[in-house]
């Protein structure tokens, strides 16, 4: 069992109160408002522990830093390959892939993460503007 930590609780509450999928640095800047003496290393360690315990989601985008999500119910994420932004796609229902696993699978599936990748609207606008000015 993990010992209670006021700093960890503050990090968890911070993540549960936002929907912007912050990086560890963004969480650090935000949590410092309540915990001015917290270190960046403490934030990183606690984010890793919270993710390992399933209290938050760690979202690896393939490029750039990991993002974190305090909303742990099954849902789909969109990851912009241009800017790295992570967006909840609430209008797309998260399907239960675990129930659809073939019976002949030799192992136990404990969960899954579904990401849709592409370019967000803001990046598309920037890209199209740069093409027009060329």
What average pLDDT does this structure show over 40-56?
97
Beta-strand relationship, 57-59 and 67-69 = antiparallel
What average pLDDT does this structure show over 63-88?
92
By mean pLDDT, which of 22-26, 44-48, 54-58, 111-115 is the weakest?
111-115
pLDDT at site 106: 80
CA angle 74, 114, 72 (to 5 degrees): 30
Report whether pLDDT(134) > 80.
no
Give the tokens for residue 106.
């030799």
CA angle 41, 42, 47 (to 5 degrees): 100
pLDDT at site 49: 97
For residue 64, the surrounding DSSP H or E stretch is none
Report whether pLDDT(131) > 80.
no
Hey, what domains does the chain have and what are their CATH numbers?
Answer: 1-70 (1.10.10.10), 73-134 (3.30.1490.190)
The mean pLDDT value of the chain amounts to 89
Distance in angstroms (rounded) separating the CA atoms of residues 8 and 92: 31
pLDDT at site 102: 67
Distance in angstroms (rounded) separating the CA atoms of residues 109 and 99: 10
**Residue ranges of the alpha helices (H) in 17-120?**
24-31, 40-52
Higher pLDDT, 55 or 127: 55
Closest by Cα among 11, 61, 71 to 41: 11
Report whether pLDDT(2) > 70.
yes
pLDDT digits (tens, 9 = 90+) for 97-115: 666 666 667 887 777 778 8
């Amino acid at each position: 069992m993990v010992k209670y930590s006021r700093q960890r609780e503050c990090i968890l509450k911070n993540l549960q109160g936002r929907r912007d999928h912050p990086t560890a640095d963004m969480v650090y800047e935000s949590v410092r408002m309540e915990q001015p003496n917290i270190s960046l290393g403490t934030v990183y360690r606690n984010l890793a522990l919270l993710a390992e315990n399933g209290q938050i989601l760690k979202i690896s985008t393939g490029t750039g830093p990991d993002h974190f999500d305090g909303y742990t119910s099954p849902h789909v994420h969109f990851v912009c390959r241009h800017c790295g932004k992570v967006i909840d796609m609430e209008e797309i229902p998260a399907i239960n892939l675990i129930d659809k696993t073939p019976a002949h699978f030799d192992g136990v599936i404990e969960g899954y993460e579904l990401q849709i990748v592409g370019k967000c609207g803001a990046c598309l606008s920037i890209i199209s503007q740069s093409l027009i000015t060329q």
